[in-house]
Amino acid sequence: MPYKKKDILVLLVEDDPMVQEVNRMFIEKIDGFSVVGVAATGELGKQQIQKYKPELVLLDVYMPGIDGVELIKQLRQELIDVDIIAVTAANDTETVKTLLRHGVVDYIVKPFTFERLEKALIQYKTVYRQLNYADKISQEKLDHITFQQEAKQDTTLPKGLHVHTLNQINEYLNKMDTAKSAEEIGSEVGLARVTVRRYLNYLENIGQVEMELTYGTIGRPIQLYRLKQ
């Protein structure tokens, strides 16, 4: 299946063909993700994980034969390196606890909205990118990543700010190698400088972004922003 070189590859393990197609459509609407394969059983899912080596598996729990819980146990016992988001109608405490003990990165209960899956994947992409492209990680950086996750789960924002726009700006900040002005960031993400400045001020106030002043050729100070290191 065609996909962009830098995309996060996702394998769908789901026995319902209609749900398979809906999930595939949802995932491919989100920038930075591509579906590399689909499996209708746990047995086939394991084979495709070994074949395609996806970074992420979207896994149903209740399937004939090897179910999702058993598949996770096998993957962990065999030290197969893959991240898993569980997608299931199961919401009993024991199932949730078992999945969390085996290291699922998120747990989504059916029926779910596109927005809920989008939130899970964007959060995963943010953490995945930071952890996988760093040779070493400090306690401060690890705390920052954890804080980012907690902040994104809290959808209570000041009046006039929206979660989707905040995520959009956060995504771009994660890609930046050098500090940039609100105008430069706005130009890249397609937002007005004034709008971007409001979100950057919010991120600075909650400790996710740092601002530094630099002076242009005419001596006028320019505010540059970057994620806290």
> Cα separation of 189 and 185, whole Å?
6
Pseudo-torsion of CA 135, 140, 142, 145, nearest 10°? -110
pTM for the whole thing? 0.60
The b-or-e profile of 7-33 (16+ CB within 10 A means b, else e) is: bbbbbbbbbeeeebeebbebbeebeeb
Q: Are residues 89 and 169 in the same domain?
A: no
Residue 136 has pLDDT above 50, yes or no: yes
> Please, is 64 exposed, middle or buried when counting C-beta atoms within 10 Å of its C-beta (0-12, 13-18, 19+)?
exposed
Q: Are residues 31 and 87 in the same domain?
A: yes
Structure confidence at residue 175 (pLDDT): 84
Q: Report the CATH number at residue 193.
A: 1.10.10.10
Residue 152 has pLDDT above 80, yes or no: no
Q: What percent of the chain has pLDDT over 70?
A: 83
Q: Are residues 21 and 120 in the same domain?
A: yes
Structure confidence at residue 13 (pLDDT): 95
Find the domain containing 122 and state its range.
Answer: 8-129
Residue 221 has pLDDT above 50, yes or no: yes
Structure confidence at residue 154 (pLDDT): 47
Structure confidence at residue 37 (pLDDT): 94
